[in-house]
Every structure is written in C-alpha cells, then in structure tokens.
Structure 1
Amino acid sequence: MTSQAVGLMPLDAGGHASHRSLFRTAVDLYAAELPPSGETQLVVEWPDEGMGETRTLIDTAAIRAAAEQAFEVWPGLEPPDPAGQPSGTFTVLEMSGPPSFLAPPLSPRQLEERRREEEARRRYLPRADWTGMGYRDWGDAALIRARLDGGASPDAPVQQGGARPLHLAASWGKAETVAALLAHGVEADAHDGEGHTALWYAACAVDEDMVRALIEAGADVWTPQEEPWSPGRLLLTTPLAPLVTELPGAVSLPAEEVAALRAADALIAAFSEQGLWTEGLGIAFVAGVGEDEVVRRLGGDPALCPAVDEEDMPFDPMDYDASLRYVGVTGVDGSPGGCVIVQDGYMPSDEALLRAVSAGTSAYGVYFNPKGGTFGALARDGGIVASEEIGLSPQATDPAAY
C-alpha cells in the first residue's frame, strides 16, 4: 500500500444535475501524478464543521486504467518547472462557487435575525450589575429577576443623581418589576438625589398596583418631598385618593384646592373626549369670546370663513405648508364659553396671535413640537403673562400649586 498527500477543497459540487444531491456531492480531484499501483488512501478532514480526519482505501487500478485513455490537448506545451511545483499536490480547476452541500451564506436579513436572537438569549443571562439597562428595561420583570439572581445589588445607585433600581422601576416600569425588587429586600423609602422615594414616582404615574405594593412594604406616605407635597398629598389629587385617606397621619386638601382640582379635571375631560393626534398640533383656548369675534381679531371676515367638516377642508391635511395657511375656530358653549383655535402648526401658541385674541379676556396657547417638548403661553387682556415648557419638574420659585 502506498500513500500520496492530497489536499481537498471542493468549490463546485458538479455542474451536472445528476451529480446534485442533498446528501452527497461529486468532486474532481486533479493529481499532479498518477498514484503507484496497488492500494492508496484518500484522507479527508473538515475542521470547521467538526469532522475529524477520515481515511479511505482506494484501489488505484481503475485510476491508472482511465489515465491510459487520456490524450494530449496542446501538443508541444512545455511541462511545468518541477522546482516551482512541489510533487504530490493537486489543483481544483472549477471555481463557479461554493459547493451545494455546504450551507449557503446567510443574507443580511438572516444575519440581523441571528444577531437579534443572540442578543435576546444573552439579555436574560444572570449578571451581577445593572449595566446597559434602558428606560423600557425597568418594565421587564424577567430581566430584573435575572439581574437580581446574578447578584446585582437591589439598592445600588445606578444613575447619576442617586436613582436606585426601585426609583427607576417606579418611574418607568410596572407593578411586577417593583414587586420583584421588593421581594429582594430593597429599601422601600430610599431617597434619590432629588429627595424623592419610589412611592413619589408611583404616585406621579398614578399606578394603583404599584402604589399598593409600596405602601404595603412600609413606604412613607405623608412626609413632604416637595414642600408641601408628600406622596400621599399627590395621591389625594388623583382617583387613587381612597388608598390613602384612611391611613395614619392622613391630611386633607384645602377646600379651594379641591375646587380647583375638580375644575381642572372637568377641563381635561372636555378636551380629552375626542382622541387627538397631537404631534405638531397648535391649539389655543379663548375664554368668553364667540367665533365671529375671534375671526375678526385674527384679521378675517366671518362671512368668508364658512363652517366645514374635516372631510371638506380647503387644503390637503397632509400638506404641511398648506396647513400653515389656515386655522380652525370652533365655538364652545357654556359659561364662560369661548372658542378653540386649532392648526397643524405653531400659530395658536404664537404670542402675536394670543395678544390679538385675548383683549378683555384670557387665552392659553399650546404647541406640541414634533421635534420635542410641549410649550404653552398665557395671555391676558392683550399681553403675555407667562410662558412655559409643559411637563418639566417644578422649580423652587414656582407656586406650590404648580
């Protein structure tokens, strides 16, 4: 038996249909010289696919018999330089692509799917820290438990400003994530850098299950955190007030504050009866002034401003530039009554417009900026008296009712 070293790297599974199969493939080996008579070995190895070296005995008689039928294609062609071509090697001549028995290369979409699958797999592996947690992650109870099971400290500050996991779960998460942290013995009344506890954030979120869980865990309800506001006092202004009215140390809101809150709730209800797409919306509320008067104050002629339905707009609502040339004016019945001015744009919050429509009354304009932020301006008797970005935390100089 003889042995001849041969390397194998098939780049084509064979161009003939008869050679194709899901389970096997035919390849051509081009040897530099005929093997000696007798038996020899074919050695195959595929490390990338975990296939070790295999050896197959081959009778070279058939190979030598086939070689006798070969004929010279290019007579007179000089043989290769033996010094530049090591003995015992072969060449694969067909280079049309990867063999069909190999898995085809993954497409970009498949690669992205594999990447996401791997990220999802790694997401819930236990780990002993809170690194990489985004706002939405604090609502994922399974992820919170995986971190806790991995040894992450439930009381460790995880953000600049001293926010701990319980603060972030109460701000951005769910009752289930708060319960997962409380089950690990987290301190229910820890304060962040702004002096707030998790119950404060749960009260701001008006989340009943979260509030109940924190109160049952012993969270302080009545100590003020933004003078004179405590978590309990905040809750008294919400539908969750019954959760705290009978607790020890309960306080009562002043009668005038209760009246103001009820009036605010009525205004909110009036404005929220119809669902609105607020992104890019401008809207102003004008007290005690009718539609025709508002149109005149805006410089228009009521006779040239007919009432139209949404389906009969004189412009394409999807055309932003066209929408900036129109405002809608709608009367509001009741006492004091008034008008609502709307536009798919900033105009109702513009100070010049608010000055014009607020003579002898008051008007408030809001702009929901699609680039970020909601901005309001208050006008009284033709002058701007306040401007603000809505939704920011109150400043020390703001009135308590803010």
Structure 2
Amino acid sequence: MGTTVSDNEWVGGAGAWSDTNLAEIQERLADGFDPGQRLFWLRSTPLHQAAQEGAVKVIELLLASGAEVDPADSYGATPLWEAVRHGQDDAVRLLLAAGADPWRPCIAGRSPGLQALFTELADLFAHLPGAPRVSPRLRELQETVDEMMFSYEDYNEGFCIAFVGEVAEDEVIRRLGADPGLCPPVEAGALWEAEHASPAELLRVASPPGGGVVLIQTEGVLPVHDGVARRVTTGGGVLAGAFPLAGTSVDIWRDGFSIARPSVHEQLSDDSLFELWMCRFGDCGAHPSVSMERILALMTLLTATYVTEEWLWSAPMRLVPVELRSDGQGR
C-alpha cells in the first residue's frame, strides 16, 4: 500500500470516510480492511462515519463490499440515524434505497424517521410505509419551542449567564449569602462602574418580566460555578447556566445537585432530558438553529425564564457580593 499509516491510526482521521478519500478507502478494502468492523475509538462503523459526512460514494462502496446497512453503534444509532441528524439528505436517500429501516428504534425509543419528521428531511419519510402519526399536540409543542429558539437569533452577549426557576429573587440573594435589603437595584447605566468599584466579586441579579431570576457576570464564571449553583438550588429550584454565545454546553442543577451538563452536538442517550430533544440537542445539521439559540431555549424551557437584549441592557439589577469557600468542590 502507498501509505505507512496503520488502519487503527487512519480510521479516525479527519475526513477519513469522506468522498474525497475514496481512492484510499478502496485501497484499504482491497487489502482486506473489513467494511463492517467496529471502529474502537469512534464507537461506530465506517458506514456511520460516511453517513455523517454525507459521503454517498463511500456509502455505496462500503455496502457493495459487504457492510450491513443497519448496524447499531455504541449509542444504539444506525447509519441512517447519523445521516438524519447531520442533515445529509443524499445519504438518507441512498441508505433508504439500500434497505435501511426508517422506523427502527435507536435512542430513547426514537427512530431515524421520527426524528426526520421534525426537520427539513420530513418529505423523505412522511409517506413511507409504517410512518407514525405525529400528534397535533406534539407538533404544536415542537413548533412553539422552535419559535422561542429562533427568537434568540439576535442574542449577542459573550458573558456568563444563568437562569433560575422556582426561586424568588430575594430568596436567591439570601441563598447567595447576602441580605436582599442591602442589595438595592442599580440603574443599568451605573452597573459597570459599581462593579469595578467594589472589592468583592459581584453577581448581577434581576427578574425579567415573564418570571424567573437571571444571574449575570460580565467578567467571570460565577453563574455556572458549582458553588453558586449549589447554593441557589439547595432547598428547591432549578438553575441552567452557560456562555451561550461562545460555549456549547449547559450546566443544569436541581435541588442542590448537578443533574446534567449536555453539549449541543453530542449524541443524546436513553436517559437524556426530554427538553434536550425539544431544543434540538444532538442535531448536527438537520435543523437550521445554531448552538446559541438551542442553549438559550433550553435554559428558558427548564426554568421558565426568558430574556431579551433590550431587557438585559436597560433593566435595573441588584449587585450581590458572592464569597465562595475553598472547599475543593466544583469550578
């Protein structure tokens, strides 16, 4: 072979299973590479990887070389599932034509076809035999979440922010260790100067019009610090925090415990929160929403707290001093 890279090194390389690498794949297969083998580091098969890439020529080659069309990876996902979640319509068509089962449950009882029915790939599945009927209530719920998600499209704040549900503003301040009476609202235009004049580390705390409580730190990570989240939710409550503009994950706490830290593009699992599915987590291209919109939508859905740019920069907020003990826990 015209390469010294071993199969184990090569299979996980960037673009290894793309159509641009077709010649090398053909060469590897001719030298005995098993087209259906498990790729240990990727926890899947070559067909899964090609489906993610939308590499139709590679998919055709692998199938012609004996690869099964519907193997499950370590998550339970099939190549068709991967083609759907990556929005690869040509790969979807090819896999369906090759006999992939659109209604096979993969993760959390969901099939590739069901997932597709809520995306722009819906027309490829809606009229296939066995297509499930999506209830109007579920369809309406997804449309409502999508609408809320897209309402965040103009969000442009790079700071750390957390939404808190089921806890009143004064109680949040008390749980942070401060006296609400000593934390009066500060007008928006005076917040920055007041923060920088204080020797203590401060959190901005305020309640948007629709309910809930918002924690903000323009230069720091307190809203997602384990110590803050633990205090704010101990005794009841839920907190969801993130760097929505630059980050890809959300810290979720309930009743004093961290319950999840999902990342936008990671594969979901049987145990994933229902809200993650509704906010398109795990989707890598089938839906046009972006990470920031999904993160903020999830934070809103979990806490019933919604913010707008106008409110963030015009509302008076309370500056709450936060002193965290060095107990070796959390960030």
TM-score when scaled to structure 2? Answer: 0.59
Alignment of 1:118-157 (within 5 A): 129=7, 131-138=9-16, 140-150=18-28, 151=30, 153=33, 155-157=35-37
Q: Which amino acid aligns with 2:100?
A: A
Name stretches of at least 5 consecutive residues in structure 2 with no aligned partner. 277-331
C-alpha distance in 2 between matches for 1:324 and 1:252: 57
Secondary structure, aligned partner of 2:116: helix
Structure 1 residues 253 and 276 mapped into 2: Cα distance closer, same or farther (>3 Å)?
A: farther
The separation in 2 between residues aligned to 1:202 and 1:227, in whole angstroms, is 18
Map 1:224-263 onto structure 2 (within 5 A): 224-263=105-144
What residue number does 2:252 align with?
A: 377
Distance of aligned partners of 1:353 and 1:190 in 2 relative to their CA distance in 1, 3 Å threshold: closer
Displacement of 1:310 after TM fit?
A: 10
Per-residue CA shift, 1:63-92, capped at 9, x if unaligned? xxxxxxxxxxxxxxxxxxxxxxxxxxxxxx
Counterpart among 79, 91, 101 of residue 210 in structure 1: 91
Q: CA deviation at 1:167?
A: 0.9
Counterpart in 2 of 1:327?
A: 203
Structure 1 residue 244, shift from structure 2 partner: 1.5
Of structures 1 and 2, the one with the larger relative CO (CA 8 A, separation 6+) is: 2
Is the deviation greater in 202-211 or in 392-401? 392-401
What displacement does 1:282 show?
3.9
Matched residue, 2:39: 159
SS at match of 2:216: strand
Q: Which has the larger share of helix?
A: 2
Residue equivalent to 1:180: 58
CA distance in 2, matches of 1:288, 1:269: 25
Distance 1:134 1:323 in 2: 50
2:323 aligned residue: none
Report how many aligned residue pairs link the two structures.
Answer: 262
1:349-389 CA deviation, whole Å, 9 max, x = no partner? 346645766699954222469xx98452243xxx3466112
1:111: which partner in 2? Answer: none
Contact 1:228 1:400 in 2 (8 A): no
Q: Say if 2:48 is the partner of 1:170.
A: no
CA displacement at 1:250 relative to structure 2: 0.6
Normalization by structure 1: what TM-score?
Answer: 0.50
C-alpha deviation, 1:238, in angstroms? 3.0
- Offset at residue 223 of structure 1 (A): 1.4
1:126–1:146 CA contact under 8 A, matched in 2: no
Could you give the per-residue CA deviations for residues 189-229 of structure 1, whole angstroms, max 9, x where no partner exists?
Answer: 23334442111112222333433343344321111123521
CA distance in 1 between counterparts of 2:105 and 2:194 reads 51
Gapped regions of structure 1 (runs ≥ 5): 1-121, 317-321
Q: Contact (CA 8 Å) 2:203, 2:216: kept in 1 or not?
A: yes
Give the greater-gyration-radius structure (CA): 1
Q: Secondary structure at the match of 2:223?
A: helix
RMSD value over aligned CA atoms? Answer: 4.6
Task: Say which of 101, 126, 134 aligns to 1:220.
Answer: 101
When residues 259 and 159 of structure 1 are mapped into structure 2, their CA distance, relative to the original with a 3 A threshold, is: same
Indicate whether 1:285 and 2:159 are aligned: no
* 2:78 matches 1:197: yes
Report sequence identity in percent: 24
Distance 1:140 1:349 in 2: 38
